[in-house]
Structure 1
């Protein structure tokens, strides 16, 4: 069976870059240690452990990589590859490459897409601190008018990356953008959104490139 029937085309004619020695050994956004020789990559929104196939238009070379980090935070770039993956794509000298990206396998923590959830008036809720084991199971609820929610858009091990992502969201004219510490990670969220406004706001965020939103209910104050 040909690739066209096996894999879902995710993005076409987008630019990828790579990162290497400067970040080797540092923690990635999912808590792993970055190994520049592993076949991994950073993406702003795809669920962790998603496997994507990246194909270089310049030479036809392809590589399968696993999402374990967030980025890149440079305008116009879709993915940051490990140096090992960049070598396989033959893009070390150029530093960037124009590629097509197919989804090989979505990460195990994949939720319903933000747009689909918004249309259905249902949004996946993240787990709240101190929740019971039963409540920690992935779930969806109908949003309630008058109830406030936080829309989480990213979680970062590097606080500077979180702050830069928050500034990017704010520059896109979204209000109530906040960073929230959670253990060793820093979350970026749009906070205090009324339940009746969540679906439309999630869709607006998705249209601006801030996808993979997760919503958690907050205590009204």
Structure 2
């Protein structure tokens, strides 16, 4: 009876490894499709030498150390960029048509989600080409390398293949790491602040956003109670809110 139970557990472990390994190999995380504002985007690998002209913007301090769409933590001083459809890890040469300065960046995020803009640069990259003061500028976008780059999930798959028949406890640890990568920490963004709770509630009803709350806080300098309208968002969602004309003065609380 004990032998049968052991054999059954071993079979389940083997099946689990096979299914997990197949799932990882079937998806290329560099070109995962995604939806934003009802539009589905299909990222793809692009050929070296492809040149396009468009507008670039940049994002910085509010998103420093936040998770990007690739799962990496955003470093505002690194030479990176966000693009709607180019595969993650594509290397691009960005040249400002105004300053004639160039910089090489690696795509590690998604955006910008404005039809008038084509690429979002990190603060560091924008500074290299003199874009930080202007905010938005005309650029030449040239693909330097569109090669597939190994990612954390592909390395996980190799570990799974190597240790395919080891103990069930190891399978659980690997699954937890994969789930943790998919988890996106939500951050709080203050959209508006009122001294009248009725105005705060009216604002909340008007915009109909998810995960919205009204936070009551006493302001010692004015000796008044403020009612802050706060919404929970992913890093990508927060970035869009801060750039939206609808919520002028919005900022990240935590």
- Provide the TM-score with structure 2 as the length reference: 0.41
Greater RCO (Cα-Cα under 8 Å, separation 6 or more): 1
Bigger helix fraction: 2
Counting strand residues as a fraction of each chain, which structure ranks higher?
A: 1
Look at both structures and tell me which one has the larger radius of gyration over its CA atoms.
Answer: 2
